[in-house]
Amino acid sequence: MSVIKISILGMITVLMVLQFKETKSEYGTMIMLVASVLIFGFGISKIRQIIELINSVKSDFGIASGYIGVMIKIVGISYVCEFSADICRDSGMSTLANQIQIFGKLSIFVTGIPIFVQLLEAIGTLL
């Protein structure tokens, strides 16, 4: 789906949410949630193109697949946590959104630890 179609879907969603904001705010929240999940799903469909690009870069430069895997996990964690936190924040639950973001940051840190350890080992062999 093109960027223009997604943008139009977003603008229509905003107009619908504003329409329900005064009378039935829970309808507006549900409309926003459905539209967010749809747009997120369309974004996920682009992953195949990203994976093909990463595989070509990996083969061209001889990068170990473990590093690429960690990078993809970190990007995935950040997108999912940001998406979830934004939905919570839009629903008026900023404390929950902050907790999701903290959990995401800790998950990214834990995911990156093996690369950090390998870096320290490489530095240790040079000294």
Give the whole-angstrom CA distance, residue 91 versus residue 67.
36
pTM: predicted TM-score of the whole model, two decimal places: 0.66
Domain residue extents for the chain: 1-45, 47-127
For 82-103, the pLDDT digits (tens) are 988 988 888 788 999 999 999 9
**Residue count of the chain:** 127
Count of Cβ atoms closer than 10 Å to residue 81 Cβ: 19
| pLDDT level of residue 125 (50, 70, 90 thresholds) | confident
